Amino acid sequence: MRFVIAAAAFAAVFISPARAEVASASSAAFLIEAEADVAASPEKAWRDLTRLNRWWSSSHTYSGDARRMTLEPRAGGCWCERWGDGQSVEHGRVALVMEHEGVRTLRLVGGLGPLQELGVSGVLTFTVAPHASGAKITMSYRVSGEPGLNLDRLAPLVDQVLMEQFGRLSRYTASGSPD
């Protein structure tokens, strides 16, 4: 019990409560947004963001092992996962890596997980900016497709998975452990 209380106190000191929500949803589109302030330098937050194999949950991979994921943080770079006998998946393609006035942006294009099969257009954007407590990390995932896909019904499920990953990123950046 002491460990649980200590862990909760540790998280409260190093990570401000994240704000997250399905900002909008319709049968043809949805937008998920999240933000968190972490007690780490913006440089560390950026470095950690680009090392997603260290914080992404293995339970949300095709191979069952997040260590098999790579991200090339350059335009055209692949967020890929490769495992045994030539199996692989491209989770997303890097469309933008940019720094402007101390704010770094990473933008990926792709339908994550089962959205890939639906042929939707997805744009996942992360920003890392200086903040009084260290760094502010924001994430948005904008998905659009045919109205018959009823994306408004999928939005809460995608939100749940993405928020789990966003929480893991925030914890990893603040403490060195995603758990």
Domains in the chain, CATH or no CATH each: 2-175 (3.30.530.20)
Structure tokens at 110: 């792709």
pLDDT in tens, 15-72: 444 566 899 999 999 999 999 999 999 999 999 999 999 999 999 999 999 999 999 9
Count other Cβ atoms within 10 Å, centred on residue 131: 17
Q: What's the rounded Cα separation, in Å, for the pair 122 and 103? A: 22
What is the tally of helices (H) and strands (E) in the chain?
4, 8
pLDDT in tens, 101-136: 999 999 999 999 999 999 999 999 999 999 998 999
Count CB neighbours of 134 within 10 A: 20
> Are the C-beta atoms of 91 and 110 separated by less than 8 Å?
yes
The pTM score is: 0.89
